[in-house]
Amino acid sequence: MSIAENLVRMAKVLYRTSPNCHGIHIQEPPDASMLAAKLEPVVIIVIILGYGAISVIISWLVRIYLREVFNQVVSQ
């Protein structure tokens, strides 16, 4: 089962059990497999962007650390 299918399944449970402002339960959402097929590329893109952001942050931290180490070595 893919990540998108799990997300859709959780959303369906919340969608079914949460009443709207009039206290009437919302009708059944569309089929999970159809929503999962639409959400799969979005989930993959979000994961890739997340890993990309983490790698950029780590590279910045390594560059700052190496610059500090280099400055200490040069100043001695």
DSSP reduced 3-state for 25: strand
Q: Average pLDDT, stretch 16-34?
A: 58
Written as six digits, the tokens of 70 are 């280099």
| pLDDT over 90, % of the chain | 21
Q: Are 16 and 26 in contact (CB under 8 A)?
A: yes
Give which of 73, 8, 17 is closest to 42, Cα–Cα. 8
Phi/psi at 11 (nearest 5 deg)? -65, -35
- Tell me how far apart the alpha carbons of residues 58 and 50 are, in angstroms, rounded to a whole number: 12
DSSP reduced 3-state for 19: strand
Q: For the chain, which residues make up each domain, given as ranges?
A: 3-75
Q: What is the pLDDT of residue 43?
A: 81
Q: pTM (2 decimals)? A: 0.44
